[in-house]
Homo-oligomer: A and B are copies of this chain.
Amino acid sequence: MPKYLQIYQQLVDRIQNGTLPAETKLPSETELMQEFGASRGTVRKAIDALQDKGFVRKHQGKGVFVLSQDAIAFQFNGIVSFSEAHRQMGEHDVKTDVISCDLIEATEELAHLFHIAPGTSLTQVKRVRTIDGERVIFDINLFVTSLVPGLTKDIAGASIYQYIEQTLGRQISYAKRKIEAQPATAEDQQYLDLEGTSHVIVITNDTYFYEGQHFERTQSRHRLDKFQFTDIARR
């Protein structure tokens, strides 16, 4: 592990175990240099990482200050798949049913979206997520088949993201997300326990590989009252 990450990790530990409580000032760069036997640049890199992760805030001329812990607890930004998200939550009975896993041909519109030729093969996966006995999420995934080959119903029942990263060895880089409400479709009514609600929350997710290739669009359709999304925004 690089030295700057070691320093970073030790400082994170101190913040998390209360040695460096919220609102207190971190030792100055000069002091940290002496303590860790590192150059100023290395110490600064560690502190920059702390700030990126939301642990501290730097102020020129003043110092570096620890931010309150509860701010960090909120920090589950980033791309998190369904199975990752619910493994952490625990306590809930979660099940995934794969409705279908088919090859389809890209329409004009989808071809344009993925920057591929019309008619190119796409893999379409439809899944229903059941939480505590209620069917509350209906996912429709579309993958560019050439970029994500070999998808099967079995894989779709486990974790597609794990398959992409571990079996295919591709690295997922970033995702664009859109959240909106839409009237429930006939398919929504068929696959979800809507309990009379007229709308669903739709999260459209466009995901990209490290190299910038757009390989997936997913619509995740949630029952209104079972949907919640949190994040942290920085000015």
B235 and A172 contact, CB distance less than 8 A:
yes
- Closest B residue, CB atoms, query A210: B57
Q: Does A30 touch B at the CB level, under 8 Å?
A: no
Bound CA–CA A78/B235 (angstroms): 5
Q: Which of A99-107, A133-141, A178-186 contacts B (4 or more CB under 8 A)?
A: A178-186
How many copies the complex holds: the figure is: 2
Are the C-beta atoms of B235 and A173 separated by less than 8 Å?
A: yes
Which residue of B59, B172, B232, B235 is within 8 Å of A176 (Cβ)?
B232
B227 touches A174 (CB 8 A): no
| A175 pairs with B229, CB closer than 8 A | no
Q: Decide if B68 touches A234 in the complex (CB within 8 Å).
A: no
Size of A's binding interface in residues, CB under 8 A: 45
- Stretch from A2-10, A120-128, A142-150, A193-201 that touches the partner: A193-201
Cα A172 to Cα B235 with chains together (Å): 7
Residue of B nearest to A173 (CB): B235
Judged by a CB distance under 8 angstroms, whether A11 is at the interface is no
Say yes or no: B181 contacts A234, CB within 8 Å: no
Closest B-chain residue to A73, C-beta based?
A: B176
For the complex, is A224 an interface residue (Cβ under 8 Å from B)?
A: yes
Report the bound CA distance from A53 to B199 in whole Å. 35
CB neighbours (8 Å) of A177 from chain B are 230-233
Contact of A67 with B by CB under 8 A: yes
Within 8 Å of chain B (Cβ to Cβ): is A208?
yes
Identify the closest chain B residue to A172 (Cβ): B235
Show 10 residue pairs from A and B whose CB-CB distance is below 8 angstroms, ordered by the A residue: A65-B212, A71-B174, A77-B233, A78-B235, A173-B235, A177-B233, A178-B230, A179-B229, A181-B224, A198-B198
A residues with a Cβ closer than 8 A to B are: 22-23, 54, 57, 59, 65-68, 71, 74, 77-79, 171-181, 197-199, 201, 208, 210-212, 214, 224-225, 227-235
Besides A71-B208, A79-B235, A199-B225, 13 other A-B contacts (C-beta < 8 A): A23-B212, A54-B174, A57-B210, A57-B211, A71-B176, A74-B176, A78-B233, A79-B233, A175-B232, A176-B230, A178-B229, A181-B201, A181-B224
